[in-house]
Chains A and B, each alone.
Chain A
């Protein structure tokens, strides 16, 4: 078992390196491996190809990696917390909250710029956090988070916000604004740049570090809250930590890249089906696979519809869902 895990892990890592190399090559400027190497190790900002690789392609790939990782990570936590195979990071309403914030700003209901500051990502972040707080408040009773209640609250609030996004999309008289909102609601890495990357990086790194210490609790939580309680897990506290972590990690993701669907749902299942239900490093592997999957989807989207690519959520669903179904049928995989 250990050997097989190492084999899978090495394979995943190799695939990721390959994908990143490929991702650095795909773009409007043609670049061979020699140029790629030169751009990375002997960067010359006046060389157009170097500039495109280092200033445009690399941050885009890293953003995809971070967003995919954050969403898969958050999905894994949410599934453990509510003990439900259908949970994903967006059940807290983050996605719809971010979409609403962004579309309000894009359609001009709220300001689009403040001075020279481009506001949609800020409103998206505010929307994500605001809605998460509302959903948590609705799922909260007598000092406890009730997962089932929170799940339903998330679905209800999410539907309401989705309706509001549709309303603003409909009322917008600019075709470009409509397409812009669509890109937001389906995800897009086009606005990646180096200045934005520290936020999701720090959020994800801290979150991973935190759960390095909570790994055991997380696995026990999969047995159900009651049994976890009798086994000495402080269920309420763990749930709060999970909620806080997930809202920060998903909040930054959706604020920077829009709400990319399915990754947070599928990748945790894929990880568990490959590495086992309670493998020690599952959370890290899940983050890695999520990131790699997202990088792959982004490259595919740019190859299929150059130059700007298709909205990323379309690709994740198209290629993620069949693979997921295959895994479900092929493996004797059970969630709990």
Chain B
């Protein structure tokens, strides 16, 4: 008798569960959607008028803040900290991806950057959570302007995007390349001491230096964007300028650990500088600010 009753309740429970899952479907179809191609060449079906957006990368969050209506930005990752007011938005952990928090926040479109969100995560977001993921990819400074314009188009805020891009371009145009009598200054940017990792040729850093009449000391293109180098390789590069930590800190860590590297020009001529980490690392609208900062080191 008890078993029969239990079975009865269980089937009702199952049926209602099934119905609940089913009833969700029709709602989604009512939203007007358009299909766009993102920077990775993926076809993404996105809402025609996204109202709840967020980004899964700190740089992408900065991009959204530059163009989007702030009220439509509904969350941030644990690493997003710029602009300051983003810190008030609810946090979605992006590593490991907190899918439940996304279900709770219900974004209708997610922006992210190549290399930050694995394809597997994007696939799960689109397939299981029905949240479209739009990837952006930045190799050149120009790509950031293009990225801002694209975000403007997607969000129906072309005007705002154009304003932002025009003002950034103006600012950039006013930066004069450093005039040197000799060859272009060779800059090496170090991100880690052991092993020594640096900004490779195929990073945004290389393009930023172009606007300043300087060059990335690393010419060779490695499989990794941030390759590990040996001391010998750096001796051979013999950079004019090193960007890493504060000079005093470099003296007590990097050059203490690798005294052989005191031979390079940058050390001999005391051209060792600390750049703001986020400006260096994030492909964001602050790219012009980053170039301006780099100019202080190169002049």
Residues of B contacting A307 with CB < 8 Å? Answer: 229-230, 232-233
Evaluate whether A56 and B231 lie within 8 angstroms (CB atoms) in the complex, with A179-B197, A180-B192, A188-B195 already known: yes
Could you tell me the distance in whole angstroms from the C-beta of B226 to the nearest C-beta in chain A?
Answer: 7
Q: Digit string of B167-196 for contact with A (CB within 8 Å is 1, else 0)?
A: 000000000000000000000000111111
Count A-side interface residues using an 8 Å CB cutoff: 31
* A244 at the B interface (CB under 8 A): no
Could you tell me the distance in whole angstroms from the C-beta of A82 to the nearest C-beta in chain B?
Answer: 34
The reply to whether A176 and B236 form a contact with Cβ atoms under 8 Å apart is no
| Assembly CA distance A309 to B231 (angstroms) | 12
* A97 at the B interface (CB under 8 A): no
Q: Which residues of B239-268 have CB atoms within 8 Å of chain A's CB atoms?
A: 251-253, 256-260, 263
Residues of A contacting B193 with CB < 8 Å? Answer: 118
Comparing A47-55, A157-165, A226-234, A274-282, the segment that makes contact with chain B is A47-55
- Chain B at the A interface: mostly helix, strand, loop or mixed? mixed
The reply to whether A48 and B256 form a contact with Cβ atoms under 8 Å apart is no
| Assembly CA distance A52 to B231 (angstroms) | 9
* A27 at the B interface (CB under 8 A): yes
The reply to whether A176 and B230 form a contact with Cβ atoms under 8 Å apart is no
The reply to whether B79 and A176 form a contact with Cβ atoms under 8 Å apart is no
* A239 at the B interface (CB under 8 A): no
The reply to whether A120 and B194 form a contact with Cβ atoms under 8 Å apart is yes
| Assembly CA distance A115 to B231 (angstroms) | 23
Evaluate whether A28 and B230 lie within 8 angstroms (CB atoms) in the complex, with A118-B257, A120-B194, A308-B195 already known: yes
Residues of B contacting A55 with CB < 8 Å? Answer: 260
Could you tell me the distance in whole angstroms from the C-beta of A205 to the nearest C-beta in chain B?
Answer: 26
Q: Which residues of B248-295 have CB atoms within 8 Å of chain A's CB atoms?
A: 251-253, 256-260, 263
Could you tell me the distance in whole angstroms from the C-beta of B165 to the nearest C-beta in chain A?
Answer: 30
Q: CB within 8 A of B194: which of A56, A174, A180?
A: A180
The reply to whether B233 and A28 form a contact with Cβ atoms under 8 Å apart is yes
Residues of B contacting A57 with CB < 8 Å? Answer: 232
Most buried by A among B191, B233, B259: B233
The reply to whether B253 and A118 form a contact with Cβ atoms under 8 Å apart is yes
Q: Which residues of A165-217 have CB atoms within 8 Å of chain B's CB atoms?
A: 173-177, 179-180, 183, 188, 190-191, 193
Q: Which residues of A45-99 have CB atoms within 8 Å of chain B's CB atoms?
A: 48, 51-52, 55-57
* A10 at the B interface (CB under 8 A): no
| Assembly CA distance A176 to B192 (angstroms) | 6
* A144 at the B interface (CB under 8 A): no
Q: CB within 8 A of A113: which of B195, B230, B252, B259?
A: B252
The reply to whether A56 and B232 form a contact with Cβ atoms under 8 Å apart is yes
Residues of B contacting A309 with CB < 8 Å? Answer: 230
The reply to whether B252 and A29 form a contact with Cβ atoms under 8 Å apart is no
The reply to whether A56 and B79 form a contact with Cβ atoms under 8 Å apart is no
| Assembly CA distance A174 to B226 (angstroms) | 13
Evaluate whether A118 and B194 lie within 8 angstroms (CB atoms) in the complex, with A28-B233, A56-B260 already known: yes
Could you tell me the distance in whole angstroms from the C-beta of A302 to the nearest C-beta in chain B?
Answer: 8
* A332 at the B interface (CB under 8 A): no
Residues of A contacting B230 with CB < 8 Å? Answer: 27-28, 56, 190, 307-309
* A116 at the B interface (CB under 8 A): yes
The reply to whether B228 and A308 form a contact with Cβ atoms under 8 Å apart is yes
The reply to whether B79 and A173 form a contact with Cβ atoms under 8 Å apart is yes
| Assembly CA distance A180 to B257 (angstroms) | 15
The reply to whether A48 and B235 form a contact with Cβ atoms under 8 Å apart is yes
Q: Digit string of A91-126 for contact with B (CB within 8 Å is 1, else 0)?
A: 000000000000000100000010111101000000
The reply to whether B232 and A29 form a contact with Cβ atoms under 8 Å apart is yes
| Assembly CA distance A27 to B233 (angstroms) | 8
The reply to whether A27 and B195 form a contact with Cβ atoms under 8 Å apart is no
| Assembly CA distance A183 to B195 (angstroms) | 8
* B227 at the A interface (CB under 8 A): yes
Residues of B contacting A116 with CB < 8 Å? Answer: 251-253, 256
Ordered by A's residue number, 10 sampled pairs between the chains whose C-beta atoms are within 8 Å are: A51-B263, A56-B231, A106-B194, A118-B257, A175-B226, A176-B191, A177-B192, A188-B195, A190-B196, A193-B260
With contacts A29-B232, A308-B195 known, what are 8 further pairs, Cβ within 8 A?
Answer: A48-B236, A51-B235, A52-B235, A57-B232, A106-B194, A179-B195, A190-B231, A191-B194
Residues of B whose CB lies within 8 Å of any CB of A are: 79, 95, 191-197, 226-233, 235-236, 251-253, 256-260, 263
Question: Across chains A and B, which 5 residue pairs bring their CB atoms closest together, nearest first?
Answer: A176-B192, A116-B252, A308-B228, A307-B233, A28-B233
